[in-house]
Amino acid sequence: MTEEEKWKASLSCDATYDGKFFYGVKTTGIFCRPSCKSKSPKRENIVFFDTAEEARQFGLRPCKRCRPDLLEFQPQKEAAENIKSTYDQFFADHIRLKEELKKLGLNRNRVAQLFQLQYDKVPTEYLNELRISRAKELLMSTKDNVLQIALQSGFESLSTFYNHFKKTAGVSPKEYRTAILSGEKSHDY
């Protein structure tokens, strides 16, 4: 591949060339993937490399935007995984969940968009699945009443809990507990 072809690929931010070469910018001291969306540098400031290691040996550091030092860089996937991890950890505590999501530095709409793109469901749907799953565990393993279980599972009202539980399990929480504790296996809860 000629330097002119590499230059054209870099100008057009062509991701098909990622991993085939890297380009360094002498004036900034960084190196990038061909797909980097940073401002295009002047041609006379560009040096091409076959590997990221060659760029490092030349004295350049990796771009923070395109992360050429990583084998695979998918910031949206990484953000969605961080969102899911936060949901998994704090689904039952609305205040803490809100605080932890805020730490991710994304607005509410972006959180919902990234999560749905990655997991093909809206956050509310996923959170309710987690909460119902937790409620089922508590119904089987504790003697707590239904209101306590609803609150411990992250539901803020008993009616919301009942509606989601019945829609998911096909029976009320009390009926679920009775069936599970009596060993009834005829229902697929």
Q: What positions carry a catalytic annotation?
A: 32
Cα distance between residue 33 and residue 20, in whole Å: 9
How far apart are the C-alpha atoms of 28 and 42, rounded to whole Å? 11
Report which residue type is found at 91.
Answer: F
33 three-state secondary structure:
coil
3-state DSSP assignment of residue 22: strand
Q: Do the Cβ atoms of 32 and 66 come closer than 8 Å?
A: yes
Distance CA 82, CA 36 (A): 23
